[in-house]
């Protein structure tokens, strides 16, 4: 717990989020979210993102969607699903600044987490963003490994994780903080109003 208490996220300006298991319920083992009715939003997500938006942090989704490579949904269908997600968030005054998708199968690219291509693209697209002012929040070892490789701070969402697996133990050790949900992170580490980050500090 000691590194959990020591973690400081107050100067974070860019919040990278995994999708499945962070914004929506993880599908059961080996299954995928292939349409909107399978996209089951998790509690508190809209509220948490709205707080991040109001604190002027950028909120960026980085998601592996191997289902595209497997032909379970087309890139267009995935875009439509993300349009619905954006509509749901907008209804609660929340928005995502970007969504980066790896649609590839394992071993085909440099962007499938735990590889870092999606993050590297975001660091190009958002001038001023860099590992030192960014955090990666995810629910799996590959999220935490990707962030760690880049030198980002990382947060593991444990609310829906099978805590007994070796990967879960490894992820919990690697991450700077462990929380139950995205809202739990925002409330515990950024305060209820998200505490605007300090411009030009240090």
Q: Which does 18 bind (CB under 5 to 8 A by kind): Mg ion, Zn ion, none?
A: Mg ion
Q: Which does 98 bind (CB under 5 to 8 A by kind): Zn ion, Mg ion, none?
A: none
**Is 184 noted as a catalytic residue in this protein?**
no
Q: Which does 46 bind (CB under 5 to 8 A by kind): Zn ion, Mg ion, none?
A: none
Helices (H) and strands (E) in the chain, counts: 8, 6
**Rule CB under 5 A: is residue 147 a binding residue for Mg ion?**
no
Contact criterion met (CB below 8 Å) for 82 and 65: no
* Contact pattern for Mg ion over residues 24 through 53, marking x by CB under 5 A: ------------------------------
The contacts of residue 109 (CB under 8 Å, 6+ apart) are 102, 115, 117
Taking contact as CB under 5 A, which single stretch among the options 10-18, 97-105, 116-124, 146-154 is the one that binds Mg ion?
Answer: 10-18
Three-class SS of residue 154? strand
* C-alpha of 154 from chain center: 10
**Is 20 noted as a catalytic residue in this protein?**
yes
Report the nearest approach of Mg ion to the CB of residue 138 (Å).
Answer: 6
Cβ atoms < 10 Å from Cβ of 138 = 27
Task: Please report, as ranges, the residues that interact with Mg ion according to CB under 5 A.
Answer: 18, 20-21, 139-140
């Amino acid at each position: 717990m000691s590194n959990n208490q020591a973690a400081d996220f107050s100067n974070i300006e860019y919040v990278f989020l995994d999708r499945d298991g962070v914004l929506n319920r993880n599908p059961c083992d080996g299954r995928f979210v292939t349409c909107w009715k399978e996209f089951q939003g998790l509690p508190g997500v809209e509220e948490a993102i709205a707080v991040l938006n109001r604190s002027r942090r950028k909120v960026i989704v980085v998601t592996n969607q191997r289902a595209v490579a497997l032909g379970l949904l087309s890139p267009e269908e995935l875009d439509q699903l993300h349009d619905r997600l954006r509509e749901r968030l907008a209804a609660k005054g929340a928005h995502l600044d970007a969504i980066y998708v790896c649609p590839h199968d394992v071993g085909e690219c440099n962007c499938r987490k735990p590889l870092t291509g999606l993050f590297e693209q975001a660091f190009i697209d958002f001038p001023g963003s860099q590992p030192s002012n960014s955090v990666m929040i995810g629910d799996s070892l590959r999220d935490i490994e990707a962030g760690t490789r880049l030198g980002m701070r990382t947060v593991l969402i444990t609310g829906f994780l099978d805590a007994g697996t070796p990967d879960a133990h490894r992820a919990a050790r690697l991450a700077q903080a462990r929380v139950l949900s995205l809202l739990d992170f925002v409330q515990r580490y950024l305060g209820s109003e998200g505490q605007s980050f300090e411009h030009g500090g240090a």
